[in-house]
Amino acid sequence: MEELQLDKKTIFSGMQPSGKLTLGNYLGAMKNWVALQDEYNCYYCVVDLHAITVPQVPKDLRKTTLDVLAQYIASGIDPEKNTLFIQSHVPEHAELSWVLNTMTYMGELNRMTQFKEKSQKKAENLNAGLFTYPVLMAADILLYSTDLVPVGEDQKQHLELARDLAQRFNSRYSDTFIVPEGFIPKEGARIMSLQEPSQKMSKSDENPNATILMLDSADAITNKIKRAVTDSIGIVAYNDEQKGIKNLINIYSTFTGDSTEAIVSKYEGKGYGDFKRETAEVIVEGLRPVREKYEYLMENKDYLEEIYAKGAAKAHNKARKTLDKVYRKVGFVQAKRFE
């Protein structure tokens, strides 16, 4: 695992091990992460602490955590170029989160759109962790002197809180944290639901036909594309009136590199059947190397363990320096470390 390059900016991101990763996760995020790894110092973690804001089956959480890590690597995220680790293996995340909690206003958390939505869906399990997890997210980011955070529309509010907390701490105690910026990759695919193409593809969707999973079989992918919602127009065209077809064209384009114009031209005079069949083939072949690498990794758990152990050690070294600085500025007595 190569050393951090001081002349490079730092990026931090992570995914929860709750549910299985989707085609949207792969095309919308992970392919972009691969493109960043030579230009930036990248920290990518599996955020298992965030996952337990909703009840988890312990053995399933352990499996999905390793699944997500293996899919990171299978997608092309090189553990020699990036810091890959499991969030709970670096206790500084939780420690910094507590300090930041004491500086976060209730009103700020009450305004979080995701909390409002999740609290309505999960009223029976409305726990404090669900309320304060944006503070943990801020700790995740600030621990690593993060310059840039890849962020979608649904996370912009959380990034703003991280920025506010960094500025608030710096103002109260002197400059400590870098104030992170949002990062929108030059090319990012927004992949929509196959059944509700006005909504983003989600791993929590209750309709199994709405979502293609990264580890789906060829038959499953083909069947889901066959059932994908289209329209009665019958012409392969790229416009907002034909959201289902537009979504499939975006997926096709992202895998092949063909322009949307070229794809529309290719299917001029052809029906949706041909287009869907060939789109399914493009997805199957595009995901084949990912699936094969994933299966290899899951059969070689020792190698996977070596990667997350090295990643956690590297992340811990950076995080500990940040937290020690925070504790000193807050006024805590310096602890004697017991190795």
Catalytic residues: 118, 200, 203
CA dihedral 219, 297, 151, 94 (to 10 degrees): 130
Calpha distance 102→205 (Å, rounded): 35
Least Cα distance to 131 among 147, 118, 143 occurs for 118
**281's tokens:** 């083939």
| CB of 74 closer than 8 Å to CB of 291 | yes
Give the count of beta carbons closer than 10 Å to the beta carbon of residue 159. 20
Least Cα distance to 79 among 308, 329, 318 occurs for 308
- The contacts found for 235-241 with CB under 8 angstroms, 24 or more apart, are 236/263, 236/264, 236/267, 236/268, 236/270, 236/272, 236/275, 237/264, 238/263, 238/264
Helix (H) or strand (E) holding 299: none
DSSP 135-151: HHHHHHHHTTT-SEEE-
CA dihedral 97, 102, 105, 110 (to 10 degrees): 50
